Structure 1
Amino acid sequence: MTPPLARPGLLRVLLGAGKDRPGLAEGPVVVGADGSAGAARAVLWAAQEAALRHQPLHILCAVDLDLAEHLSDETARRVREAAHSLLAEAEAAASERATGLTVTTEVGREPVVDSLLQAASAVPHDTDTAVTIVVGSQGMGGLSAMLLGSVALTRAGPARCPVVVVRGTERPSSGAVVVGVRDEGDRGAVRFAGETARRRKASLRLLSAWTRIRYAGSEAPTADTVRGDVEAKAAASTRVLGSVQAEFPDLEVTEEVVKVPSTAGALVEASLNADLVVLGARRPRHHLGRSLGPVTHAVLQHAHCPVAVVPRG
């Protein structure tokens, strides 16, 4: 069986799924299962999230029989049976985690990317909600390495579908959701984080970091230049803060604008005391196709809790 989470560029492709609703976190949840420990944790996280949303959970195991065209009929049958058995176990685990949850399963016959995209587009949901896709950080094919691949993605359109990568181990809730804020283009990520925090009765922490590394390779900036950049970042963070406070008046929201050696390092440190870290998907300049920025790459590799990557507005 082809590991369903073992194709290069999966996260970048998945971010191209869905409709133009990047900030919404209220729709059904689709999760990939492959029998690995990482995917098992992803199924449990997805089950809890779907239950909190009062939405169904769809579990997918991609077989990709196109690659198995030279297998005998008997071997192909056994592959399908193994996939169904894996799905039955995942469904039982999800139902045990969230009693009363509506769970559907599917054996995808296409490569994992195509299967997950098809599943996300086929799951019934209201037009004012968006499907969220959940994957484990380490599948049978090594998802971590896959996520950090540098292959340029040229066939996906603008990012539209939130994707959660379940990292870390299960632990008691910290009661906090952290969202990285660069500028007002991250409103979608902040809204996703706000909705998640509201459902989980958690606080929301807006973290905006700046570092002198951004000036490397250029002429030494003047103090006024640095001060102006910091003030602009603080002003943008404050405007985003006002927006989220207006939309979620009962939510406890804090903001921090900090000077740090590494933005990614600050977010990874914040993940130690968070139930979820939310990042806006950024398309770096001078890149063909779509690639995740270095901060997102680093957080996906080192965070201590699940990480949600949400399309930027």
Structure 2
Amino acid sequence: MESTLRTPDTSSVVVGVDGSEPARRAALWAAGEAVRRGRPLHIVYGADTDGRALYVSAETIEKVRAAGRELLADTAKAVASEHPGLQVTTEFSRADAVTSLHRAGGLHGTIVVGNRGLGGFHALMLGSVGLNTAAGAKTPVIVVRDVDETVEHGTVLAAVRDEHDLVCARYAAREAELHKASLRLLHVWNILQSVGDVAPLLDDVDGIAGKHASALEAVTDTIHDEFPDLTVASDATKSRSVAGVLVEASRRADLLVMGGRRAPAPFGLGRNLGGATHSVLHHAHCPVLLVPRAGTDSASRS
């Protein structure tokens, strides 16, 4: 897939609401992000009335519309009370939530969703709308988890592997500037992914580790050059669980930025997220920003 992203611009912020508490928190977080970027906030409610039209009465459809418009107004009012100078627009969409958000995000918007919605089981870490929005988006998606927003760590965390994640690192650097935070570039590598299932010799391990360190150093040097006023730290670690390391590191971050895999899903069911990305979205301790990866390489990366 060819990415629509070229540079880490400060794009408009789109947030989806459905009446759930996680969606409300996501809207308030998105409002703060819009303020940081100096851009408007667009609040979307996907009612899916087109999809329900054959199965419910016109009276029920009208009730759904009224409830959706009331929700949009209430959310806009809550946002305005916390950010009175923010430009806020709302949209009632007849399409389903995922389609509505993708359309509203367009080519240059950043989509924000809560980690759970009204549908499904409350115990699920990430709802189907958030998961499908993240998996199918061509623009950045931020999944806002149930976190204590009063605690600020002053760090934006970015997961990077090599130069193919440079766009992701640039987005993270830009976010760090907006959050007035430092940037930590974290490179996690799994030795079995590097050499296969055969146990490597010690010299092989040292050589592999050196290659990974060099890849991280190249990205770090580029970010240092492009963002000279930003405090940047970087480190590489070896682990059998890439997701586990990222989730633990997210405890000390205000935002985790990582590339969103766009690999073909099984049985031709569109596109899905990689295993590590999927796990991080379910368990991270801070909001997660997924940046679509560029090029055909995305199909083989997690």
TM range (shorter): 0.7 to 0.9
Structure 1: which 5+ runs fail to align? 1-15, 123-129
Aligned length: 284
Q: Deviations over 1:175-220 (max 9, x none)?
A: 1000011111111111111110001110000001123342686222
Contact 2:115–2:127 under 8 Å retained in 1: no
Pairwise mapping of residues 42-61 of structure 1 onto structure 2 (< 5 A)?
Answer: 42-61=26-45
Pairwise mapping of residues 107-126 of structure 1 onto structure 2 (< 5 A)?
Answer: 107-121=92-106
CA positional deviation for 1:116: 1.2
Contact 1:120–1:131 under 8 Å retained in 2: yes
Structure 2: which 5+ runs fail to align? 295-302
User: 1:41 corresponds to which letter in structure 2?
Assistant: R
Q: Distance in 2 between matches of 1:49 and 1:148?
A: 18
Contact 1:22–1:189 under 8 Å retained in 2: no
SS, match of residue 255 in structure 1: strand
Match of 1:185 in 2: 164
User: 2:91 corresponds to which letter in structure 1?
Assistant: E
Match of 1:82 in 2: 67
1:296 has 2:277 as partner: yes
1:144 has 2:139 as partner: no
Match of 1:8 in 2: none
Tell me the TM-score normalised to structure 2 length.
0.86
Contact 1:23–1:310 under 8 Å retained in 2: no
Q: Deviations over 1:221-245 (max 9, x none)?
A: 2223322221111111111111111
User: 1:308 corresponds to which letter in structure 2?
Assistant: L
Contact 1:183–1:236 under 8 Å retained in 2: yes
Match of 1:214 in 2: 193
Match of 2:300 in 1: none
Q: Distance in 2 between matches of 1:255 and 1:138?
A: 32
1:68 has 2:52 as partner: yes
Match of 1:132 in 2: 110
Contact 2:224–2:230 under 8 Å retained in 1: yes
Give the counterpart of 1:272 among 251, 268, 271: 251
Q: Distance in 2 between matches of 1:148 and 1:82?
A: 21
1:162 and 1:277, CA in 2 relative to 1: closer, same or farther beyond 3 A? same
Q: Distance in 2 between matches of 1:149 and 1:47?
A: 21
Match of 2:237 in 1: 258
Q: Which has the higher contact order (CA 8 A, sep 6+)?
A: 1
Tell me the TM-score normalised to structure 1 length.
0.83
User: 2:126 corresponds to which letter in structure 1?
Assistant: S
Match of 1:12 in 2: none
Contact 1:168–1:303 under 8 Å retained in 2: no
Contact 1:25–1:132 under 8 Å retained in 2: no
SS, match of residue 144 in structure 1: coil
CA positional deviation for 1:72: 2.5
Contact 1:32–1:60 under 8 Å retained in 2: yes
Match of 1:161 in 2: 139
SS, match of residue 310 in structure 1: strand
Contact 2:13–2:40 under 8 Å retained in 1: yes
1:310 has 2:291 as partner: yes
CA positional deviation for 1:251: 0.5
Match of 2:4 in 1: 20
State the superposition RMSD in angstroms.
2.5
**Residue identity (%):** 44
CA positional deviation for 1:296: 0.6
1:32 has 2:16 as partner: yes
Contact 1:22–1:310 under 8 Å retained in 2: no
1:95 has 2:74 as partner: no
Contact 1:22–1:161 under 8 Å retained in 2: no
CA positional deviation for 1:84: 0.6
Q: Distance in 2 between matches of 1:165 and 1:117?
A: 14
